[in-house]
Amino acid sequence: MREVEQDKFRRKALPVAEAQAKIMPYAKATDTEMVSLPEAHGRILAKPIDAPHPYPHFRRSGMDGFAIFSSDTTSCHAGQPVHLEVVDEIPAGSVPQVKLKPGQAARIMTGAKVPDEADAVVMFEMTESVLQEGHLHIRLIREIEPGKNITPIGLELSQGDVILEAGRKLTAGEISVLATFGIHRVPVMKRPRIAVFSTGSELLRIDEPLQDGRIRNSNTYLLYSQITEAGGEPFLFEAIEDDLAKAKAQVEAAFENYDVVVTTGGVSVGDYDIMADLVSGDSVDMLFNKVTMRPGSVTTAAVKDGKLLFALSGNPGACFVGFELFVRPAIGRMMGIAQPFLPELTAELARSYRKINNFTRFVRGRLEFREGKLYAIPAELDESGVMITIKDSDALIVIPPSNTGVEAGERVTVLKLPGGFHSF
Ligand SMILES: Nc1nc2c(c(=O)[nH]1)N[C@H]1C(S)=C(S)[C@@H](COP(=O)(O)OP(=O)(O)OC[C@H]3O[C@@H](n4cnc5c(N)ncnc54)[C@H](O)[C@@H]3O)O[C@H]1N2
Ligand code: MOO
């Protein structure tokens, strides 16, 4: 037996956290690039952005109405109305033309600049128009407090405030803030370029008809989605057949052009498990080839010329989990995300999980809120080779090693998968 083949069997299993820690030093920051604001959606901000001006930068009316001196309305009531002469009209986008004096009002629209002298805006609905000696007046029968319906300068942000920290993912809220401040070119982290290979002579292309004993290559597309969601840029390659020399050549070529290489399949101890052989060879430095977890115990990571190679299991469930626990955090770290790991929550296990585990199990499942409490419901079918329940899962339920399993009602840690909740 060749030495590399023997190595496949002699594996030292690392706990997940230790394996993650081995990877992170190689998750080197990508370069930065400038993109247009719409293109920045979903990208990671590369530099902190300060407010170049206060917001709002002028005193803004919050209502369609009249800008007035609130002091003119002191003690005003139905039996003692106040009449104010309308001397200006200020649409949004214009500036006041008349310097207001006490006893006067300016007709003003929502979003328009309030005259400096005025200290309140009264809504149209609270006024009545009257003509007095040919001049338009408004009649008020209620006191208006100072500041009413005026948004002060800098209510949201003062000049120089940090608007967004580096490492922040830009989605709707962030994009609208950047637009507000005229930041139309945005410094973002380059998306790590990730080559994806599936291995296995049993794999058919997705456009091929079924053949006996063969299956379509779903992992490549699973990974395409996961990489895209995590912020990376996937590049899909034809599946590699179970031939070590060919696989080695293809994977090595990929390292020339891509930041990370992800493969699936061929990492176990089978006769054709070429990735296991490849990482045991001397062309790459292996970081680990076994993790004390299920599914994905054979998850393997290696480094070539400072770049990461992830050899995930071929079993779809294990490939999925291996990506979420190892590849996602590496992509996140490369883009400067402060916390690139799946967020941890605590939930109550809704159904007993009685499988015996030597290793920590990451069971796909659904989360449900019932009467303010979070429940975790493990998928009925959660075997490593099962693909169908991945689509219904919004979390990985962490089941620690145990001889008895975990009973319904016990508290468990869950790792929230990206995206919404399937129950809602
Ligand atoms: N004697 C042993 N056999 C196995 C062990 C073991 O410890 N001793 N471990 C089992 C476990 S656990 C897992 S997980 C798998 C891991 O196998 P590999 O990662 O080497 O993957 P393959 O053998 O290539 O494939 C496994 C399974 O997944 C299917 N597959 C592969 N690629 C794809 C793809 N791109 N799309 C869809 N499905 C794919 C493949 O056809 C197999 O059915 O090993 C166990 N065996
Ligand atoms: O490593 Mo396998 O995915 O544990 O079932």
Residue nearest to atom 4 of ligand 2 (CA): 295
Q: Is the CB of 263 under 6 A from ligand 1?
A: no
Taking alpha carbons only, the member of 295, 331, 333 closest to residue 194 is 331
Instruction: Name the DSSP class of 391.
Output: G
**Nearest to residue 267, comparing CAs of 8, 3, 10, 2?**
8
| Best residue for ligand 2 mutational test, from 267, 268, 298 (most atoms within 8 Å of Cβ) | 298
Look at strands 185-189 and 193-198 and give their pairing. Answer: unpaired
Residue 367 has pLDDT above 70, yes or no: yes
Average the pLDDT over each of 59-68, 96-105, 269-278, 341-350 and give the range with the smallest value: 269-278
- At 11 the pLDDT is 86
Closest CA to 265 of 324, 224, 315: 315
Token couple for 23 = 């990877």
Tell me which DSSP letter residue 351 carries.
S
The residue contributing the CA closest to ligand 1 atom 8 is 269
What the chain holds in terms of domains, given with CATH numbers, is 3-31+190-334 (3.40.980.10), 34-47+163-189 (3.90.105.10), 60-151 (2.170.190.11), 344-416 (2.40.340.10)
The alpha-carbon radius of gyration of the chain (Å, integer) is: 31
The yes-or-no verdict on residue 7 having pLDDT over 60 is: yes
pLDDT at position 1 over 60: no
pLDDT (tens digit per residue) in 180-226: 999 999 999 999 999 999 999 999 999 999 999 999 999 999 999 99
Residue 3 confidence class, pLDDT cut points 50, 70, 90: very low
Ligand lying nearest the CA atom of residue 297: 2
- Report DSSP letters for 21-68, one per residue: HHHGGG-PPP-EEEEETGGGTT-BB-S-EE-SS-BSSS-EESSSEEEE
Task: Give me the pLDDT at residue 139, please.
Answer: 97
ipTM of the prediction: 0.97
Q: Name which residue sits closest to atom 9 of ligand 1, judged by CA.
A: 268
How remote is the CA of residue 410 from the centroid of ligand 2, in Å?
25
Q: What is the mean pLDDT of residues 134-144?
A: 96
What pLDDT, on a 0 to 100 scale, did the predictor assign at position 290? Answer: 95
pLDDT over 60 at 273, yes or no: yes
For residue 5, is pLDDT > 80? no
Question: pLDDT, tens digit, for every residue of 68-117?
Answer: 999 999 999 999 999 999 999 999 999 999 999 999 999 999 999 999 99
C-alpha of residue 176 to centroid of ligand 2, in Å: 44
- Site to probe by mutation for ligand 1, drawn from 226, 315, 320 as the one with most ligand atoms within 8 Å of Cβ, is 315
pLDDT at 242 over 90: no
Q: Is 314 in the pocket of ligand 2 (CB under 6 A)?
A: no
Ligand nearest to the CA of 204: 1
Mutate which of 269, 291, 384, 386 to test ligand 2's pocket (most atoms within 8 Å of Cβ)? 384
Token reading at 167? 């490492």
Which percentage of the chain shows pLDDT scores above 70? 98
Picking from 78, 97, 77, the residue whose alpha carbon sits closest to that of residue 87 is: 97
Name the more confident of 269 and 361.
361
What was the pLDDT predicted at 376? 98
Distance CA 61, CA 93 (A): 11
Task: Give 334 Cα–ligand 1 centroid separation in angstroms.
Answer: 29
Taking the alpha carbons of 251, 253, 254, 260 in that order, is the dihedral positive or negative?
Answer: positive
Nearest-10 Cα torsion for 32, 33, 34, 39: -110
- Mean pLDDT in residue range 270-277: 83
Q: Is 276 in the pocket of ligand 1 (CB under 6 A)?
A: no
Q: Assess contact for 140 and 122: CB atoms under 8 A.
A: yes
Contact 255, 274 (CB under 8 A): no
Question: 397: how many CB neighbours lie within 10 A of its CB?
Answer: 26
Sheet of 135-140, strand order: 120-123, 65-68, 104-108, 82-90, 135-140, 127-132
The span from the CA of 414 to the CA of 363, in Å, is 9
Task: Give the atom of ligand 2 at the shortest distance from the alpha carbon of 315.
Answer: 3
The one-letter amino acid at 81: P
Residue-wise pLDDT for 20-49, tens only, equals 999 999 999 999 999 999 999 999 999 999
pLDDT band at 6 (very low <50, low <70, confident <90, very high): low
